[in-house]
Amino acid sequence: MENSIFHEPVPDWVEKVCIILLVCSQIMISGIPANAIAMVTSFLGDEKDAIQFIYYGGVVGSASAYPLIGRFLRYFRKRQLLLLCISLELILLVISVFTKNNLQLFVVNFLLSSVKMVCLMTCLGLFLKKFNPTNSRGLMYGMYYALSFSLSQLYSYWVAVLLQSYSWKYTFLISLPGIFVSFLIVVVLMHTRRIEKKYPLYQIDWLGYFLFIASSLGLSYVCIFGERLYWLQDNTIRLILAASIVGYVLWTIRMLIVRRPYVDVRVLAKYSHVRVGVALMIALFFIYNTFSISTEFMKVNLGYTDSYVAATNLYLIISFVIFIPLTGIWLHKVHRVRESLFVGFALFAIYYLYTARFFYPEENSTFFLIPMMLRGAAYGISITSLSYYASVNLVQADNTHRAFFSIISRSVIAAPITSALWLDSFNYFKQKEYDIVSAQFGMDDYRVSGLWKSLVSSNLKSGSSLDQAEQLAQGTLHNMIYKEALIMSAQNVYYLLAAISIALAILVLFLKVLNVHYVSEKNKYQMTYMDV
């Protein structure tokens, strides 16, 4: 087949199956998964914050590799690049099992995430060429996001199950079967002919690349360690925050003056809808990135294990496979995002109001079916609409830079900032509610005094001394108060998020810039990985 990377005798249906396998195997590759952070901390004996920083190091590595992919694709033959990336992934996955300290873990996670981004986007380019012949961005996001988000939830569940019986390091090896299958597909079925003109790698702005990485890691450090170090009261936090801000300023200046910038920041000034799209993606993560609250509720109040929490999150897949493709079809046919964005943000409001209203510990896992489906539908509809909106009506040369800002706005900037913000707010509300509930648990209340006597008596009958019995009773009362405070603080945060979601839903109804519609003449060029 003309311009196909596969050998000519390979049937079309075999090509399609192989491309799907390649994309799926890359989606399932991960460094440190979020739900393995506690286990990694236990193994290495370090603080959770340090491991979380390593996790975000992988996020930064993945995002920072994105602008380099075009150069790599024009320097290497596709088969050569895929073989190189898959081989590096295999090596790094094996090395990860033998890491012994934070520095080794950081380097492996950073490199693995970077290589995965290059390989995944290369495979995605093949996927778009084969499965999206109409060149529709709506259909592309409808297909890819449904596949990517669903597989990511499945991967998180498998990791949680594996962690029940094995060391956290074995979670890296989940990806090995897909790696071997991918390797066979590339070696056996793909040819080595060069399809595009070769460009040298020395033209890459490596200084801009490393400056972005350093600034982004600084931002992640501030967001992760800020609460424990009391934010700007700590000299280290102030210094790193200042260095990060200066780094971003210097990076922006460099992008404006060098001949071949790492990323062309002018794209933000050139297209108003790209600026609005990036801003709304940050707002989207502001109301979406609250999993830590629901997770703590399920673990503390309901006693769920990590695997049970992950199983509950599988309900999201139902919404992903239904509403993301439907949104893609809507955008493909109608070319408007105002209505779908309104529905997405409105569903977030409904989700938070519904969940806050029924935040009670006696509920079982089936209770989470409706709220998780609401959450999945809200996020799927919103992110699909925003990705589509930001990607249309711009020339091909600017699309890589636009996509870079779409990626970093949600993963490098919004994710750590919103996570730190809501965790800090949640802890503030917990302490406030704990003090209020504690004041109500006075011994002058006959119900509290009766409960205290019952607990002490029960502990004495179990063989404890009087001091031990009172300490155990005090611990039981503390747990009761903490659980109640957790529910009330979660409700406070969720009601606040519902109000913000309603405000965003109303806002999109009046934003004139959302009137920018699809212009086919500006999007006739073939879609590639750059459209993600």
Single-letter amino acid, residue 165:
S
Number of Cβ within a 10 Å radius of residue 500: 16
pLDDT for residue 512? 81
pLDDT above 90 as % of the chain: 38
pLDDT band at 519 (very low <50, low <70, confident <90, very high): very low
Q: Cα separation of 305 and 161, whole Å? A: 10
Which of 383, 368, 384, 496 shows the shortest CA–CA distance to 429?
496
What residues have CB less than 8 Å from 145, skipping those under 6 apart?
320, 324, 328, 380, 383, 384, 387
Name the token pair of 149: 């988000």
pTM here is 0.88
Q: Cα separation of 431 and 368, whole Å? A: 26
pLDDT above 60 for 44 = no
Which of 368, 379, 377 shows the shortest CA–CA distance to 308?
368
Burial of 107 (0-12, 13-18, 19+ CB in 10 A): middle
What distances in angstroms separate CA 353 from CA 1, 345, 423, one per listed residue? 54, 13, 19
Evaluate whether 502 touches 378 at the Cβ level (below 8 Å): no
pLDDT for residue 37? 64
Q: Cα separation of 169 and 76, whole Å? A: 32
Most confident of 76-90, 185-199, 356-370: 76-90
Q: What is the mean pLDDT of residues 410-437?
A: 87
pLDDT for residue 457? 77
pLDDT for residue 478? 76
pLDDT for residue 253? 96
User: Using the 8-state DSSP alphabet, how is residue 168 labeled?
Assistant: G
Q: Cα separation of 205 and 212, whole Å? A: 11
pLDDT for residue 300? 78
pLDDT for residue 443? 67
Which of 138, 159, 263 shows the shortest CA–CA distance to 205?
263
pLDDT above 60 for 329 = yes
pLDDT above 70 for 75 = yes
pLDDT above 60 for 520 = no
pLDDT for residue 188? 87
Q: What is the mean pLDDT of residues 197-219?
A: 87
Q: What is the pLDDT of residues 170-204, one digit of tens each?
A: 777 778 888 888 889 988 888 877 666 667 777 78
User: Out of 35-39, 171-175, 181-185, 415-419, which region has the weakest mean confidence (pLDDT)?
Assistant: 35-39
Between 461 and 62, where is the model more confident?
62
What residues have CB less than 8 Å from 152, skipping those under 6 apart?
27
pLDDT for residue 45? 56
Evaluate whether 74 touches 196 at the Cβ level (below 8 Å): yes
User: Using the 8-state DSSP alphabet, how is residue 442 labeled?
Assistant: -
pLDDT above 70 for 414 = yes
pLDDT above 80 for 444 = no
Q: What is the mean pLDDT of residues 38-49?
A: 61
User: Out of 282-286, 364-368, 428-432, 466-470, which region has the weakest mean confidence (pLDDT)?
Assistant: 364-368
- What is the b/e burial string over 332-353, where b = at least 16 CB atoms within 10 angstroms of the residue's CB? beebbbbebbbbbbbbbbbbbb
Single-letter amino acid, residue 163:
L
Q: What is the pLDDT of residues 486-497, one digit of tens each?
A: 888 888 899 999
User: Out of 70-74, 88-92, 257-261, 494-498, which region has the weakest mean confidence (pLDDT)?
Assistant: 70-74
Which of 51, 81, 52, 48 shows the shortest CA–CA distance to 65?
81
pLDDT above 80 for 319 = yes
Which of 115, 77, 73, 111 shows the shortest CA–CA distance to 95?
111
Between 259 and 174, where is the model more confident?
259
User: Using the 8-state DSSP alphabet, how is residue 6 labeled?
Assistant: B
Evaluate whether 218 touches 417 at the Cβ level (below 8 Å): no
Q: Cα separation of 222 and 208, whole Å? A: 21
Between 41 and 509, where is the model more confident?
509
Torsion on CA atoms 429, 430, 431, 432, rounded to nearest 10 = 50
pLDDT above 70 for 38 = no
pLDDT for residue 39? 55
Most confident of 197-211, 243-257, 430-444, 483-497: 243-257
Average pLDDT along the chain: 84
User: Out of 131-140, 229-238, 253-262, 356-365, which region has the weakest mean confidence (pLDDT)?
Assistant: 356-365
pLDDT band at 445 (very low <50, low <70, confident <90, very high): low
pLDDT above 50 for 529 = no
Evaluate whether 514 touches 338 at the Cβ level (below 8 Å): yes
Q: What is the mean pLDDT of residues 238-254?
A: 96
Number of Cβ within a 10 Å radius of residue 231: 15
pLDDT band at 365 (very low <50, low <70, confident <90, very high): low
pLDDT above 70 as % of the chain: 88
Helix (H) or strand (E) holding 377: helix 369-391
How many residues are listed for the chain in this entry? Answer: 532
Strand partners, 6: 190
